[in-house]
Amino acid sequence: MVNASSGKRRFGRQSRRDFLKVTALSAGAVILAGGRLPSARAAGTDTIKVGLIGCGGRGTEAVVDCLTANPAGVQVWAMGDLFKDRLDGSHAGLSKKFSDKARFDVPGDRKFSGWDNHEKVIASGVDMIITATPPGFRPMILKAAIDAGKHVFMEKPVAVDPAGIRSVIESSASAEAKKLAIVAGTQRRHEPVYIETIKRIHDGMIGELVSAQCYWNQGLLWVHNRKPEYSDMEWQVRNWLYFTWLSGDHIVEQHVHNLDVVNWAFNSMPALAYGMGGRAARTSQDCGNIYDHFAVEFEYENRARTISMCRQTDKAADRVSERVVGTKGYSNFDGTICDHKGSQIWKYDGPSPNPYVVEHADLVAGIRAGKPLNEGKRVAESTLTAIAGRMSAYTGRALKLDWALKSSKLDLLPKNLAFGPLPVEPVCMPGKTALI
Amino acid sequence: MDNQSISGKRGITAASAFAGMAIAGASVNMASGQGTDRVRIGLIGCGGRGTGAVGDAMSADPAVTICGVSDLFKSQAKEAAGRFAKQFKDRCQIKPDNVFWGFDAYRKLAAMDLDYVVMAAPPVFRPYHLRACIEAGKSVFMEKPVAVDPAGARSVIASARIADEKGLCITCGTQRRHASDYKATMEQIHQGAIGELVGGQCYWNGGGIWYRDVVDGMSELEWQCHNWYHFTWLSGDQLVEQHVHNIDIMNWCFGGPPAKFLAMGSRQTRDYSRQARDAAIKLNGNDRKARQYEGDLYCHIGTEMTYPNGARVLSMGRHAPKSTNRVNERIVGDKGSSDCCNSIVDHKGEKIWSFNGKGTEGRTEEHAVLIEGMKNKKPVNEGRRIAESTLTAIGCRMSAFTGREISWDWLLNSSKLDYLPPELEKQLKPGPGIFHEVAVPGQTKLI
């Protein structure tokens, strides 16, 4: 059962022991003696104060995940959103759920709206931010947080264009130097079945990687209809999924999850993207300027070519998964590895805790132990992979990821971030859209 | 006009086709050339490919003579007859009575006294032309694709069976199957040079295709048949019309068609608004039908084909301007990979095998093999195989058009899609055309 907007799968209830076991398994997390919960008292800090930037559905849930993962020692301290109604709605829900002030203490003067809300949250006395704004704003918010010395949990994707990717990579390097944590919302990286499968792939169980496939084909998502009182900017930001400058298009916004898994298996980004895409069914103006499907071939340095497909269309065939193929076998990341005759050669038999919660446990544990996780560059590379696929489909041109990273001048962020007129960029297409 | 073509098949005018042909009587590589026995052929579909195919037949065997021609259009049929006479002199034996035109001209040609028929009309008609010729006891060379829908593919499979029963030959225009380099490479692959097949890719991403204007005197239907590429019911869409070549190579590797199809595509780079408007004004005096006249093709379709052994293969077909083009195939095994036509490498990129033989051209070979089969009474029959490759391409298209995942089994046995059922085919005459809405995945029904 896949939740449309976030690909969440249902996870069973787990024992505390399972939870701790999982925390220990996560890449970069610290193994704790005696199986105790990560202590709130470590690394010289008592409570970690958290600020939420971007109070939509995902952001609000990320706060819940973080507090669930850390029943003590983490306190929501400030909240910010461009829109006051979103801020208020999220605040009301979270206040109800977390009545203990030790976990949630956000009075009126630590609630911020407007274009500078992120700066105010960052300056309000927090140690860490959780940010889930539209992706177009991510690089700028990440930079502000790292510059101010705050740890970061940020949703994926982390940028919408090569300019944003470069900024994120720079911020990640700065975070490394300052010993700041960055965990991004690619939760499969914190999921034991994936971690264990990839471990065996890296150990050679399926041999040399020769191909892979990954998919995010699903139905339509929410649409935020334009109200007469909205300016162009307000409408686009509220309806952000449907504008490439805000979401990156769905190959970036959603499919990055699957592309990240394939990159993880190959231990690198691809070298080349060669794609196609368009708007077959979702063609109305209400749906902005994004595509509704992409089919992209990525070629890795070792010459393996992979299939990436993503689509958002109702009543069409759905599929959300990854598959990696080597000389000795393959895996669908369903807990098994098979050889080319179809016989199972490995099976995962461990717990399946909720990775959305685990990622926050891992984040905080790393901070406490003085070994902060930094996923910034890795998730930037996976995001760039998706962006390159999009750029290839938009222009019809094959393109090297190296070129995209170093030389592409594409920068979609409007020069003036303010409510007011903002013409919608035309839908891109080969023959009309230059590769820049 | 952008007439991208790697195989050189597209955009050939009648004149250039003749210019490229070998002179009659020049040395030929494969023909049996037995004495003065003539091989009498007829042509259905006198466009560039059809007349080119006659030239290929002429090159394949000095005994070949062209004895009759048919086309939808009188001007095309007469022009072809005239050029053949000029070019082939006494190897052209077309009497004025054996020049046919009209929607039912093919039946008259099939009734002639011939050894084999060359067919190169728009793909939707192929199953009907094939059945008529086989029933009349003629062997056939037919262009690809051989159908535009599952109904047509089934008809071709049935005709191929009848041909077997009658000892007739069928070869088809997938010329790579007769090219010496492809054949040698495929033999290596089938003998295990790259081990178990685990993946692959095939592409026909090109620039675009012609759009033909209305010629004076044409009815709407006749103009559609003249501009056949742009209507799925006539051409099958680029995916079937052109990309079948590459899909056929994948089926060749795996020894048969895929089990499942998952595809996606859309149409937005195709813009024939200006030409369509001109056509509408010429035909109707107004532009009300201009949108329909643009046709209903997609401009790109990307498909994942899953073969019976679980291997997943990427297929891409596209017409797009100013884009990166690619027309080739690649097969991946657990021991290496190959470009299917002359080279095999291991997974480190080291060469395992290279083709070093003499390159033979597939297009004359297609005819030589057919003629040899007839003469030696060892009939060659490629009918079922090309029907399967055509149906594979149709499956990719249908999956993209509807957004649904499709199985081979369902396509072959259950789909009811039939763009030109027999009752309709019998009634075809100059007059109103046949138009379909552009498909919308999730909305267009899977039939």
B261, B322, B326, best to mutate vs chain A, most A CBs in 10 Å = B322
B108 and B122 assigned to the same domain: yes
**Mean pLDDT for chain B overall:** 92
Indicate the residue of A274, A295, A330 with minimum beta-carbon distance to B264.
A295
Give the A window 329-358 contacts with B, CB below 8 Å: 330, 340, 342
- Residues 6 or more apart whose CB falls under 8 angstroms from that of A216 comprise A7, A250, A254, A255, A257, A258, A309, A310, A311, A319, A320
Residue B4: inside a domain: no
Which of chain A's residues have a Cβ under 8 Å away from the Cβ of B318? 276, 396
Counted across chains A and B, CB pairs separated by less than 8 A come out at: 139
Please check whether residue A120 touches B, CB under 8 A.
no
- For residues B271 and B398, state if they share a domain: yes
Q: Are B261 and B395 in contact (CB under 8 A)?
A: yes
**Residue A311 pLDDT > 60, yes or no?**
yes
The answer to whether residue B432 is domain-embedded is no
Contact: B337, A303; criterion CB under 8 Å: yes
Rounded Cα gap, residues A129 and A158, in angstroms = 15
Residues 297-316 of A with CB under 8 A from B: 297, 302-303, 305, 307, 309, 311, 313-316
Domain count, chain B: 2
- Quick check: bond before A134 cis, omega within 30? no
Residues of A in contact with B198 (CB under 8 A): 210-211, 325, 330, 340
CATH class of A16-188+356-374: alpha beta
Pairwise CB contact (< 8 Å): B443 & A305: no
For residues B172 and B183, membership in a common domain is answered with no
Tell me whether residues B324 and A398 touch, CB distance under 8 A. yes
CATH number at residue B196: 3.30.360.10
- In three-state secondary structure terms, B288 is coil
Is residue B203 in some structural domain?
yes
For residue A217, the chain B residues in CB contact (below 8 A) are 262, 264
Nearest-neighbour CA in chain A from B305: distance (Å): 11
Element (H, E) at B44: strand B39-44
Q: Which of B201, B402, B403 is closest, CB to CB, to A297?
A: B201
pLDDT digits (tens, 9 = 90+) for B360-397: 878 899 999 999 999 998 999 999 999 999 999 999 99
| B91-135 per-position pLDDT tens digit | 999 999 999 999 999 999 999 999 999 999 999 999 999 999 999
B191 shares its domain with B105: no
- Alpha-carbon gap, residue A387 to B72, rounded angstroms: 49
Q: For testing the chain B interface, which of A215, A307, A310, A341 should be mutated: the one with the most B CBs within 10 Å?
A: A307
Same-domain check for residues B108 and B192? no
pLDDT at A20 over 70: no
Is the full-model pTM beyond 0.80? yes
Q: Is residue B73 one of the residues assigned to a domain?
A: yes
- Domain contains B3: no
Give the residues across from A294 on adjacent strands.
A277, A310
Select the more confidently predicted residue: B36 or B289. B289
- Report whether pLDDT(A29) > 50: no
Contacts of A429 in chain B (CB under 8 A): 268-269
Please state which of the four CATH numbers 3.30.360.10, 3.30.300.90, 3.90.180.10, 3.30.70.980 is assigned to the domain occupying A191-351+382-406: 3.30.360.10
Domain ranges of chain A: 16-188+356-374, 191-351+382-406
The whole-number pLDDT of residue B5 equals 33
CA distance A120 to chain B (A): 44
B60 and B188 share a domain? no
CB contact under 8 A, B347 and A302: yes
Shared domain for B421 and B373, answered yes or no, is no
Per-window interface: A 375-414 vs B, CB < 8 A: 395-398
User: What pLDDT was estimated at residue A45?
Assistant: 61
Lookup result for tokens 């999982």: A22
Structural domain boundaries, residue B137: 14-176+363-381
Å between B56 CA and nearest CA of chain A: 35
pLDDT digits (tens, 9 = 90+) for B410-427: 999 999 999 999 999 999
Q: Do B310 and A342 touch (CB under 8 A)?
A: yes
> Per the CB < 8 Å rule, is A276 touching B265?
yes
Counting Cα atoms < 13 Å in the Cβ hemisphere of B161 gives: 5
- In angstroms, rounded to a whole number, what is the distance separating the alpha carbons of residues A316 and A396? 25
Q: Give yes or no for A105 touching B (CB within 8 A).
A: no
Indicate yes or no: CB of A276 within 8 angstroms of CB of B321: no
- Mean pLDDT computed over B261-272: 97
pLDDT value of residue A46: 78
Lowest model confidence (mean pLDDT) among A19-23, A176-180, B154-158, B279-283: A19-23
- B50 and B157 within one domain: yes
Omega before residue A414 within 30° of 0, cis: no
Which chain A residue has the Cα nearest residue B302?
A295
Percentage with pLDDT > 70 across chain A: 90
